A and B are shown apart, each in its own frame.
Chain A
Amino acid sequence: MYRYDEFDQQAVDERVAQFRGQVGRRLKGELTEDQFKPLRLMNGLYLQLHAYMLRVAIPYGTLSPRQMRMLAHVARKYDKGYGHFTTRQNIQYNWPRLVDTPDILADLATVEMHGIQTSGNCIRNVTSDPFSGVAAGEVEDPRPWCEIIRQWSSFHPEFSYLPRKFKIAVTGSEHDRAAIKLHDIGIRVVRNAAGETGFEFWIGGGMGRTPIIAKKIRDFVPKADLLDYATACLRVYNELGRRDNIYKARIKILVHEMGLEKYSALVDEEFARSQGTVKLPDAEIARIQAYFAPPAYETLPATSTAFEARRFEDKGFRTFVRTNVHAHKVPGYAIVSVSLKAPGVAPGDASADQMDAVADIAERYSLDELRVTHEQNLVLPNVKLDDLYTVWKQLSAAGLGSANIGLISDIICCPGLDYCDLANARSIPIADELQQRFADLERQYAIGSLKIKMSGCINACGHHHVGHIGILGVDKHGKELYQLQLGGSGAEDASIGQITGAGFPPERIVGAVETVIETYLSLRHGDAETFLDCYRRVGLAPFKAALYEAR
């Protein structure tokens, strides 16, 4: 993992001291709320329905156990004993007091954490594949490139007041677990015909009010040009992106309205002019990459007799392995997904005790590393096959043993109107009811791979546009109403879901989802045809008919 150098630490420590002064001046009346608000937002501090909310950055979703324990400490000491892992691989605390936030940020700074780049019209905290560095078949670990982007983008003077927020995601795999095509810039590490690795650039993707799949702007950007090319993309946007209308200010609108060809020509022009300005020296690339050198893996056989025996004997463990354990690039190891989607718990929520438990497990069994996923789960990236059974037992003891990754109950869900100031409708109670309705694990397996994603407003923090089944909560004449969308995907085959028709009241939306599922089960070509494949084959019509004709 990357470790702060003296400059990183100094910058974060100075920011804490500045914020302490700003909070003091606000409380003394030397700053009005209008003056203070942009300052607190630059440190991730929002004001929500019930209280302030502090968003803490987890750059590219990578955490050490020490950092996770600090997150638990903050939850326990300053909040109400839990935190919420978000679809941006960050964590949010829902109840901090303004007067405590300088101390919270000071505590976080001791483990190289902060709330910088979690709000405002800057380049936001960079996100990545939660399986980075360990996925079987990966071209290259994207995290060094994420870290380079983090260092370049933090406090970037030219890009601190963009027309609107700007999100960059990087993956090193063909299979996209970072939703790169739904980002302002999506980057995929690729290998060219000469065997060199570089970057495929995607531009202008995003969800929100106007969902757009990113367009490929370059097949191959050499490594040394990463920041120069990104700068060119941002510079054109910064100059031409709309600042008169917040709903049209994202780069996706600029690229869409201008057309990729014209936008791309301007980027090329700027790139030709400025290439070499922030050219990455090989020595610096090597220095950053050294932080992400593979940990000390043992040489192990590709299979484990103990693991196979446990899997044979214990049905619960077998179930867990089926959904939550994934292929690792090193023989004898596995990647373990830790579901934060237990029944009755808001998706993404974890208690301080659970954070401590998973930190202990990571320290002992996962070579000191943890990841956060944009699907609001955690990952233990380096577990020996021999240790899997013990890890599962310990996770289960902490209430983290849910074997539902990728199934219908592994729902992405924003905080919605239960917490969020922007929301129009609740999402957590609908997720809870869906989990109850589909609680039977055998039924979940029978349904197969299925991603439900739900947002409580058009801003789409819950990624409803790219859910296989997407649910959007709206306010209609003061009442909550839920629109249903089908056929979205945030993966490499990205697509935007289609709205089925009129929305459903809270008491009918779960039944509507069940109708969609039953329709799928009646239409699919055998168990192997997933919901998404089936939907793409048959289209919206049979689902629409099932949903509305009986009305």
Chain B
Amino acid sequence: MKVLTANRLDDGAVVYIGKAAPWVEDLASALVAVDVGAEGQLTETAATAVKARLVVGAYLMPVTVEDGRILPASVRERIRAAGPSNRPDLGKQAPAPALPR
């Protein structure tokens, strides 16, 4: 199983091809390709986005799905999906800022 990831061109943020939207920041919303055909479709979508200057450095990354949760296979991708492991206050793992009252 694979997910297609890249970095967004204008700010470098880690993004994934999503189930409901072309590019999402949250791995949980990513589209998981379960066969070669689906992987090919993701790669094509990414190539178009690279041409359209939305993202750079697109590639397929292996994942597993456990209890509906998408888990990256590598330490590197786990860190990309969350943020630096020494700074839980930074990256995607950072608590959302409090809403103004």
Question: Residues of A at under 8 Å CB distance from B?
Answer: 26-29, 33, 47-52, 80, 95-99, 346, 417-419, 423, 425-426, 428-429, 432, 475, 478-480
Whether A80 contacts B10 by the Cβ 8 Å rule is no
Nearest 10 interchain pairs by C-beta: A51-B12, A97-B11, A418-B84, A52-B12, A428-B86, A33-B56, A99-B10, A29-B53, A49-B80, A98-B10
Q: Does B76 contact A (CB under 8 A)?
A: yes
Question: Residues of B at under 8 Å CB distance from A?
Answer: 7, 9-14, 50, 53, 56-57, 73-76, 79-80, 83-87, 90-91
Of A33, A96, A423, A426, the contact of B50 (CB 8 Å cutoff): A33
**Complex: A432 Cα to B87 Cα, angstroms:** 12
A76 → chain B closest CB, angstroms: 15
Whether B12 contacts A418 by the Cβ 8 Å rule is no
Besides A47-B7, A98-B9, 6 other A-B contacts (C-beta < 8 A): A28-B53, A33-B50, A47-B57, A97-B11, A98-B12, A429-B85
Interface of B is mostly: loop
**Complex: A512 Cα to B85 Cα, angstroms:** 22
**Complex: A96 Cα to B74 Cα, angstroms:** 25
Whether B9 contacts A480 by the Cβ 8 Å rule is no
Whether A426 contacts B85 by the Cβ 8 Å rule is yes
With CB as the reference atom, state the residue of chain A lying closest to B80: A49
Of B10, B56, B90, the contact of A47 (CB 8 Å cutoff): B56
With CB as the reference atom, state the residue of chain A lying closest to B73: A478
With CB as the reference atom, state the residue of chain B lying closest to A37: B56
Contacts A33-B56, A426-B85 given; does A417 touch B79 at CB 8 Å: yes
Contacts of A99 in B (CB 8 A): 10-11
Whether B75 contacts A50 by the Cβ 8 Å rule is no
Contacts of B74 in A (CB 8 A): 478
Contacts A49-B14, A417-B75, A478-B74 given; does A429 touch B86 at CB 8 Å: yes
Whether B79 contacts A418 by the Cβ 8 Å rule is yes
21 A-B pairs with CB atoms under 8 Å apart are A27-B9, A27-B10, A33-B50, A33-B57, A47-B12, A49-B79, A50-B14, A50-B80, A80-B90, A96-B12, A97-B12, A346-B86, A417-B79, A418-B85, A423-B76, A428-B84, A429-B86, A432-B86, A478-B73, A478-B75, A479-B75
Whether B84 contacts A98 by the Cβ 8 Å rule is no
**Complex: A52 Cα to B10 Cα, angstroms:** 9
Of A27, A97, A419, the contact of B84 (CB 8 Å cutoff): A419
Whether B75 contacts A480 by the Cβ 8 Å rule is yes
Contacts of A419 in B (CB 8 A): 84
Whether B86 contacts A50 by the Cβ 8 Å rule is no
B52 → chain A closest CB, angstroms: 8
A80 → chain B closest CB, angstroms: 6
Count chain A CB atoms within 10 A of each CB in B10, B12, B50, B87 and give the residue with the most. Answer: B12
**Complex: A346 Cα to B84 Cα, angstroms:** 11
Contacts of B91 in A (CB 8 A): 50
B26 → chain A closest CB, angstroms: 14
